[in-house]
Amino acid sequence: MQLQHPYLLFLGDAADDLAAKTAAGVAQWRPEWCVGQLRLPGCNTSLDLPDMTLEEAREAGARTLVVGVANRGGVISEAWQQTFLDAIALGYDVAAGLHQRLVDIPALRAAADREGRLLADVRHPRDRFGVGTGEPRTGRRLLAVGTDCSVGKMYTTLALEAEMKRRGLKADFRATGQTGIFIAGSGISVDAVIADFISGAVETLCPANDDDHWDIIEGQGSLFHPSFAGVSLGLLHGAQAESLVLCHEPERLHMRGLPNQALPGLQECMDLNLACARLTVPQPRFVGIALNTKRLSPEQAERVLKETEDRFGLPTVDPVRTGVAPIVDRLA
Amino acid sequence: MQLQHPYLLFLGDAADDLAAKTAAGVAQWRPEWCVGQLRLPGCNTSLDLPDMTLEEAREAGARTLVVGVANRGGVISEAWQQTFLDAIALGYDVAAGLHQRLVDIPALRAAADREGRLLADVRHPRDRFGVGTGEPRTGRRLLAVGTDCSVGKMYTTLALEAEMKRRGLKADFRATGQTGIFIAGSGISVDAVIADFISGAVETLCPANDDDHWDIIEGQGSLFHPSFAGVSLGLLHGAQAESLVLCHEPERLHMRGLPNQALPGLQECMDLNLACARLTVPQPRFVGIALNTKRLSPEQAERVLKETEDRFGLPTVDPVRTGVAPIVDRLA
């Protein structure tokens, strides 16, 4: 499934910035693909994009209406549906990453069928995958792994792709979650794949490539998260990544969503990832650490970055504050 | 989903014993639930059960026609469908564990809807699961883990359940695959669950229970199988098993289906399982080793069992040759 850009970002009636964080991510990383935003009455957030009607954006070249808003439960609000129907009538594809599928709403499905437009439910893989093989394949690959969910793996890998491209390296971000798929225009939401096919799906996502080509693979979850570790392990095995980057948020008190579950230590987390990665890569190695220091003052952040770098002997960055150049230096 | 017994085992046109191994497993472990077998022209295998027509078995009390035969690709042969339609008309539920779903065949679905009968596709979980929490829960649990797929995990756990019940212990086999589900009458095919919900599904499968109750949980795959390790890890975390049994086939040359992938060492396999299990169980321990020695002579088998027991200091059995009593002794 390949999404057609440019995009018009649909913010709907997003209650706050957080509700529109998917749209914000797309606007940040692919501004050249975003012609504008579409907001409905009640919308309490805005991106740095012009407000447009469906018609205006279509004239400006938009080909896909990207649903960049989430609400509780991940359902498609009835308040949005007329906009989606109008978009389909105007020739848009509609793409969403919600729990509820666009294709399961009969009126949308009928309209899309009639107009020959794509309804892209990027959270719900439609392809059938084979089981993983673990067979060695050409090309170079880097995977972000984490001590926890939502510690900055997507941001880190996107920053690495950008920095590598800036240096003229052949690099492609490979998306494994909804927002990443909108940003890449394609990808596989690996946590929504049938369990048997996790590693096989990832092998499909980042197949054999040129010897000097890098796939920079978005991580998901953590081997230490009791809810999602199976996804993380299948991703690790399927990625066959010679290079790993550890992502971590120093101030986090417990595993996301689980107040009684402590975070692993960084060394412990690297050790287990390396031990498991060796199943499909002869000599995996960590090439850097990405800390999310957003809760720290600049001085605190500087100190924790330096302490971590000294302790592990690995380039340690905050992709937002410092960029990721030292990690790319290590790769080269 | 609860299957109604007694069963009539449908062997169809099974080309050989292997094609009917699901039926054979059910007949072996739940003979009291099996009133007979139904074979079509071309069937080249037989169980130790009377041949019966649908009508005869129904009179003998059968309530579910269990499709105990598999063919290449896991599809539902057209040659079987008239039998299934006749069964539904006679008041049977029909249960299958194939890749293709019974409910996706319009004629079967229509007949089942009309007659109010259940089409049970046990390989395709219909329930929605929550994500796992890893929260401690009461009751005692044992999980079989393996160096590889198909090394005897189901057989081992069924033998443990039988031995524990024989001793008057409270024990329930918890099925995680198709054949196991027919044998238990319920269960969850964990490799067919959406990846996000592996551990959550397993938490549902073996919920909190009495302090003296044992759930004996069927394992799947191996942390060392590049195709399926994600399933195995989610199962390990969701099972929250204080006791683990390692299953292994000594003569196996490579990981199942992957000629280039070596088997892990037994110690390595136990170490990684313990390291991962600790995420949701404070002090997991191995309580025994089950070797599948079917390719060895009695003398070879005796030697490898003794060597393994001496080396690891754990009760080491072949559930088929020796039974599993020494492992149950260790549990008690």
Q: Does A147 touch chain B (CB under 8 A)?
A: no
Q: Does A227 touch chain B (CB under 8 A)?
A: yes
pLDDT at B292 over 90: yes
Closest-CA distance of chain B to residue A196, Å: 5
In this predicted complex, what is the ipTM?
A: 0.93
Show me where the domains of chain B are located: 7-121, 140-331
Cα angle A275, A278, A279; round to 5 = 110
Average pLDDT of B240-248? 98
| Assigned token pair, B87 | 């069964």
Contact A279 B226 (CB under 8 A): yes
**In the predicted model, what is the mean pLDDT of chain B?**
96
Average pLDDT of B241-265? 95
Concatenating the DSSP letter of every residue in B270-318 gives HHHHHHHHTTT-SS-EEEEEEE--TTS-HHHHHHHHHHHHHHHTS-EE-
Exposure letters A149-187 (e unless 16+ CB within 10 A, then b): bebbbbbbbbbbbbbbeeeebebbbbbbbbbbbbbbbeb
Closest-CA distance of chain B to residue A46, Å: 31
| Helices and strands (H and E) in chain A: how many | 11, 11
pLDDT band, residue B126 (cuts 50/70/90)? confident
Average pLDDT of A146-173? 97
Q: Does A228 touch chain B (CB under 8 A)?
A: yes
Interface test with A, best of B99, B126, B198, B235 (most A CBs within 10 A): B198
Q: Does B43 touch chain A (CB under 8 A)?
A: no
At position B2, the amino acid (one-letter code) is Q
Average pLDDT of B280-308? 97
pLDDT at B71 over 90: no
pLDDT at B216: 98
Contact B195 A230 (CB under 8 A): yes
pLDDT at A320: 97
**In the predicted model, what is the mean pLDDT of chain A?**
96
Edge-to-edge strands, sheet with B7-12: B34-39, B7-12, B64-67, B93-96, B119-121
Q: Does A229 touch chain B (CB under 8 A)?
A: yes
Which CATH number fits the domain A7-121, given the four candidates 3.40.630.30, 3.40.50.720, 3.40.640.10, 3.20.10.10?
3.40.50.720
pLDDT band, residue A287 (cuts 50/70/90)? very high
Cβ count near B111 (within 10 Å) = 20
pLDDT band, residue A244 (cuts 50/70/90)? very high
Contact A258 B230 (CB under 8 A): no
Closest-CA distance of chain A to residue B305, Å: 27
Which CATH number fits the domain B140-331, given the four candidates 3.40.50.300, 3.20.20.70, 2.60.15.10, 3.30.390.50?
3.40.50.300
Sign of CA dihedral A256, A259, A265, A270: negative
Q: From the list A190, A230, A260, which residue is nearest B234 (CB)?
A: A230
Q: Give chain A positions within 8 Å (CB) of B176.
A: none
Domains B7-121 and B140-331 share a fold: yes
Distance CA B173, CA B175 (A): 6
Only one residue has tokens 């989430």, namely A70
Distance CA A200, CA A138 (A): 16
Tell me how far CA of residue B262 lies from CA of A197, A281, A303, B214, B304, in angstroms.
21, 13, 45, 34, 20
Q: Per mean pLDDT, which range of B24-28, B230-234, B253-257, B315-319 is the poorest? A: B253-257
pLDDT in tens, A303-325: 999 999 999 999 999 999 999 99
* Three-class DSSP category at B5: coil
Chain A residue at shortest CA distance from B225: A279
